Structure formats: structure tokens, C-alpha cells
């Protein structure tokens, strides 16, 4: 769907440091949640955001539980204070990004980078366009974004800090975490053992 007033946008030079930092931390890896899970499986753990692996919240209490679980894990990643780097993705058959076709995020993200993600059966390239914003870790904007993801109104989101030592990829039903080390991954899984996805594939 093409919305009125939408325009192609150029990458924002302010994120050059992020490109360099990403290449140092994750050489050869793209900022795509499921690809990172597969590449860094020894540091990966998946947490479910509702009891009994329920996928979607249906009440105010369940929505509060979703936020609480996300927040508890983020606090263990030392992401309760300071500023978070928020990476938001979208897909397009065009190599130039457009303003992101998602619900409004409280802080306006700007374009970071684009790459060919896949090619369809007709030989057409599909591009991933990544946008970035900086957001207060303790602010309401992060909670709002987590709930948009929980309601399947947003996706392709990665949260991290300026070191990129860990990555937090929420999805509708929980979150994939790439911990800073194998040991930290084990400690996280132990602290939140009742939330860990029971199957080895994370489902």
C-alpha cells in the first residue's frame, strides 16, 4: 500500500558508527533476528512472554505480564537505565527505503542501511531496510514498542546498547536473546527458567 506523502529517504550518516560497531561484533552477520539466532546458537535463548507459551495477550493483566517479562530480562542485560539503540526493519521490492510502513514509534527512526534479503520465484529482489532510533531504556516508548510487537503490529525489531554486546529481538510471543557470552546465556536461562521455550528450536 502506498500512503500519501511517502517519500524515498537516504541513509543517515549519523549511524556510521553503528555500521562499524556491528561489523566488529558480528562480522558477516546481518541484523536479522532469526539469522542471528542460527549463527549464534550457543549464546541464544528464547523466552516466552506469557504463561503456558500463550502467544497473544488478551487482557490488561496479560499485557502487563508481557511488559514485565520483557523488562525483567532487559534489566538482567543491564538495559534498565541509559539509552537503547532501537533497530527497526521493513521489507520492500525497492532498493531505496521509504518511511517505514509500521505504526508510529514514539521516537522517529531514521534510515541506517539496506540490503537484499531474498529473491522471489520471479527473480525479483526483496530488500530489508533498517531504521534506527535512540530511546531512553526506562521510557514509555520501549514499553509501547514491545506491546506493538506482542500484538503483531510490528516486527523485525532489535534492541541493544551502544556496545552491541547483547541483542534483544522481541516477537509476538516472547523474545530471542543473544547474550554477550555463553556463560551469560546460561545465567539468563537459569534466572528465568520457567519462561524458557521448552523445545530446542525455541518454539
- Concatenated DSSP letters for 43-112? GEEEEESSGGG--S--SHHHHHHHHHHHHHHHHHTT-SSSEEEEEEEEEESSSS-BS-SSSPPSS--EEE
Q: Which residue has the higher pLDDT, 112 or 124?
A: 112
Taken in order 134, 137, 140, 142, is the CA torsion positive or negative?
positive
pTM: predicted TM-score of the whole model, two decimal places: 0.90
Q: Phi, psi at residue 62, to the nearest 5°? A: -70, -35
- What is the model's pLDDT at position 200? 58
Q: Where are the domains of the chain?
A: 30-96+107-195
Predicted confidence (pLDDT) per residue in 64-109, tens digit: 999 999 999 999 999 888 899 999 988 888 888 877 766 666 677 8
Angle between helix axes 60-76 and 182-191 (nearest 10 degrees) is 140
**Closest Cα partner for 90 from 130, 119, 118, 126?**
130
> Highest-confidence range of 6-15, 61-70, 111-120, by mean pLDDT?
61-70
Mean of pLDDT values over 106-130: 85
Mean pLDDT over each residue of the chain, to the nearest integer: 88
Amino acid at each position: 500500500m502506498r500512503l500519501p506523502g511517502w517519500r524515498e529517504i537516504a541513509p543517515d550518516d549519523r549511524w556510521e558508527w553503528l555500521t562499524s560497531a556491528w561489523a566488529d561484533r558480528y562480522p558477516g552477520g546481518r541484523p536479522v533476528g532469526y539469522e542471528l539466532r542460527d549463527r549464534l546458537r550457543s549464546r541464544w535463548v528464547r523466552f516466552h512472554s506469557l504463561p503456558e507459551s500463550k502467544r497473544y495477550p488478551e487482557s490488561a493483566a496479560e499485557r502487563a505480564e508481557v511488559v514485565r517479562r520483557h523488562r525483567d530480562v532487559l534489566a538482567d542485560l543491564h538495559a534498565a537505565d541509559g539509552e537503547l539503540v532501537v533497530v527497526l526493519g521493513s521489507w520492500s521490492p525497492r532498493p531505496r527505503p521509504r518511511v517505514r510502513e509500521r505504526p508510529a514509534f514514539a521516537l522517529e527512526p531514521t534510515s541506517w542501511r539496506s540490503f537484499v534479503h531474498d529473491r522471489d520465484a520471479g527473480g525479483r529482489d526483496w530488500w530489508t531496510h533498517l531504521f534506527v532510533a535512540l530511546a531512553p531504556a526506562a521510557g514509555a516508548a520501549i514499553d509501547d514498542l514491545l506491546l506493538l510487537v506482542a500484538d503483531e503490529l510490528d516486527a523485525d525489531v532489535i534492541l541493544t546498547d551502544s556496545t552491541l554486546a547483547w541483542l534483544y529481538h522481541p516477537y509476538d510471543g516472547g523474545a530471542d536473546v543473544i547474550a554477550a557470552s555463553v556463560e551469560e546465556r546460561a545465567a539468563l536461562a537459569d534466572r528465568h527458567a520457567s519462561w524458557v521455550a521448552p523445545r530446542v528450536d525455541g518454539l
